[in-house]
Every structure is written in C-alpha cells, then in structure tokens.
Structure 1
C-alpha cells in the first residue's frame, strides 16, 4: 500500500485525523497502520471463526435430529456402540441434513 492509501485506510477505520497529519511522519504512519491493521484483521478473523463454528454446530444439531427421525435412535448412543456403522448410516442420509450453500 502507498502512504496515501494507508492514511486513507486509517481515516476510515481508526480516527478521522487530517490526511496531512497522517502523512507528515512516515514512522508514525507505518507504526499506526501496522498496529491498527493487525487489530482489524484479528477481529475480522475472530468474527469469521465464530460464524464458521456456529454453522458447524447448527449442522451437527440438524444431523442429530435427522438421524433420530430416520433411525429412531440417538446418534451419540449409536456412535458409542459402533462408530463405523453409525458413520455409514449418517452418510447414507447426508442429503437430508446437509444444506447446500446459497
């Protein structure tokens, strides 16, 4: 990124100081940009991870519900008794619990 792009990014995502203020000291600009951009990316990744985890948990819940509806038994109990057979059963009904991406 150019100095100007960094300054504009900081104005938008950090504080709306004047462009001149950001650009008058290269060391300050780079240090601020590094710090704020790192914080921004960390937060963005954390939100993405939470969304992925939520999706995985919803998928697991849906799989357990469909498994119980189809086979009439609890997935976790069956898994403790015969994991390989339970996995085969789950894959056989996969189309019923996996939601296609939009």
Structure 2
C-alpha cells in the first residue's frame, strides 16, 4: 500500500485526523497502520470464526434432530453403544442432504 492509501485507510478505520497529519511522519504512519490493521484483521477473523462455529453447531443440532426423526433413537446414546454403525447412519443421512453436482 502506498502512504496515501494507508493514511486514507487509517482516516476511515481509526480516527478522523487530517490526511496531512497522517502523512507528516512516515514512521508514525507505518507504526499506526501496522498496529491498527493487525487489530482490525484479528477482530475480523474472530468474527468469522464465531460465525463458522455457530454454523457448525447449528449443523450438529440439526443432524441430531434428523437422526432422532429418522432412526427414532438418540444419536449420543447410539454413538456410545456402536460408534461405527452410528457413523454409517449419519453418513446415510448426510448423503440425502448433499446434492450431487449435475
């Protein structure tokens, strides 16, 4: 990124200081940009991870509900009794969900 692009990014995402102030000192600009951009990316990744985790938990909940509807038993109980057979049943349910590409 150019100095001007960094200054514009900081102006938009950090504080509304004048572009002239950001561009006055290269060392300050680079240090601030590194720090603020790192914080921004960390927060963005954390939000993405939370969304992914929530999606995975929703899929797990849905799979347990469908498993109970299809087989009439609790997934966790069946898994404790025969994990391989329970996995086979789950894969059969998954095959119904996943549509093969045309």
TM-score where L is the length of structure 2: 0.93
Highest RCO, 1 vs 2 (Cα 8 Å, sep ≥ 6): 1
**d(CA) in 1 for partners of 2:31, 2:97:** 48
Any runs of at least 4 consecutive aligned residues in structure 1 with deviations exceeding 3 A, and if so which?
Answer: 95-102
Deviation (angstroms), 1:58: 0.1
Query: In angstroms, what is the RMSD of aligned CA positions?
Result: 2.5
Whether the 8 Å CA contact 1:68–1:74 is kept in 2: the answer is yes
Deviation (angstroms), 1:95: 4.4
- 1:10 aligns with 10
1:47-95 per-position Cα deviation (integer Å, ceiling 9, x unaligned): 0000000000000000000000000000000001111110000010114
Q: Which shows bigger deviation, 87-96 or 77-86?
A: 87-96
Structure 2 gap ranges (5+): none
TM-score where L is the length of structure 1: 0.93
